[in-house]
Structure 1
Amino acid sequence: MERRRGRERHGRGVRGPLAWPPVPAMQTRRQRFDDLVLDAAERVRPHLGTRYAETEFAVEEVPPVDPAPWEEQAAPLGRLLRGTSARPHRVVVYRRPVELQAQDDQELADIVREVVTEQVAALLGVPPHEIDPTVDPEY
C-alpha cells in the first residue's frame, strides 16, 4: 500500500488545525466592544418591558460628522434614535469616542454600561440611577 506524503512530511504525523480554536485573546477590539454593549443591553432589557421590547442596540465607529444643533459640539458617546411605526427605537454607542475616554478595560466596560443606561433612561423618561443604581447620577 502506498503512503501519501502530502501533509505528513518527515514522519511527524498529521499537522494540527490550520486555525486555533476561538479564545477570548483572539477577539479583536471591535468584537470585545460589541460584547460589552451586548452585556450592557442585557442588563437593561428587564426595564424595557413589552412596550420597548423591540429596542435595538447598535455600535457605530464614530458619530455623524454634523451633530444636530441641540447636541453638544463635543463627540457624543451614544445616542438614542426614537423609533417610528416603521422602525423600533435604537440605542447607538460610538466606539471610538468611548475608547478614547477609557484608561483601561474595566473603565471601558463602566463607560459602555453608563452610556447604554443613560440612553435607555432617556427613552423611558426616568433618571439613570433608577435603571442601574451603580451609575453616577451626575453622569
Structure 2
Amino acid sequence: MSRSRRSAVPAPTVRGRGRDRHGRGARSSVAGPFLPPLRTRIDLFDMTVASTVEYLRGVWPDDLADVTFEVAAGPHSVVAGVGVERWMVSPASRRIVFYRLPIQRLSRLHRNDELHQRMIIETCVFRGVAELLGKDPWELAPDRFRHF
C-alpha cells in the first residue's frame, strides 16, 4: 500500500489580523495606532490665541501684565438682542474669555481656509483686548499695519 504524502491535519492559517506579506510582519499605520492627530482645530485655535496674546503683551506690557486670557467652548447663555457672544470681558477681574465654538462656527468667512480662520481668531483677540483697554482695535498695533 502506498502512503499519502499529505499530512493528516493541515496547519490552520491565521487571517484577518493584518497582512504578513513576504515575511515582513504585520503592517500598521506610520504614526501608530495610539497617537492623536498632529493638528486639530482646538490646537490651532489655542495656538492662534496664545501667539496673538503674546504679541499684544509685547506691545502693551504694562496694560496687559495682570490680564488673564482664557478659552472656553462656548457661553452659558445667549444674550437677548445680541445673540451668541464671541468673547467676554470682565474689567473688574481683568479677565477675557474667548469662546471657541462661536468664533469658529458662526463667523462668516468668504474663503474658508486656514489663513482666514486664523485672521478671524486674531480679530476677536484684538477686539476683546481693545474692549478691555478702552481703545480702538487699530490703536493696539499701529505700526504693524503701516508698511507703506
Query: Which interval holds the TM-score relative to the shorter structure?
Result: 0.5 to 0.7
Whole-angstrom distance in 2 between the partners of 1:11 and 1:31: 40
Change (3 A) 1:17 1:47: closer
Aligned-partner SS, 1:26: coil
Which of 85, 90, 93 is 2:95 aligned to? 90
Whole-angstrom distance in 2 between the partners of 1:52 and 1:119: 12
Structure 2 residue aligned with 1:120 = 129
- Unaligned 5+ residue runs, structure 1? 1-9
Q: CA deviation at 1:132?
A: 3.2
Q: Percent identity?
A: 28
Structure 2 residue aligned with 1:63 = 75
Assess if the C-alpha contact under 8 Å between 2:126 and 2:140 holds in 1.
yes
Aligned-partner SS, 1:62: coil
- Unaligned 5+ residue runs, structure 2? 1-21
Whole-angstrom distance in 1 between the partners of 2:31 and 2:58: 42
Aligned-partner SS, 1:112: helix
Aligned-partner SS, 2:76: coil
Question: How many correspondences in the alignment?
Answer: 117
Whole-angstrom distance in 2 between the partners of 1:107 and 1:58: 22
Q: Deviations over 1:47-85 (max 9, x none)?
A: 433243021211111122143x6xx5221221212234x
TM-score normalized with structure 1 length: 0.66
Q: CA deviation at 1:17?
A: 8.3
Q: CA deviation at 1:19?
A: 6.7
Structure 2 residue aligned with 1:33 = 45
RMSD, aligned α-carbons:
3.0
TM-score normalized with structure 2 length: 0.63
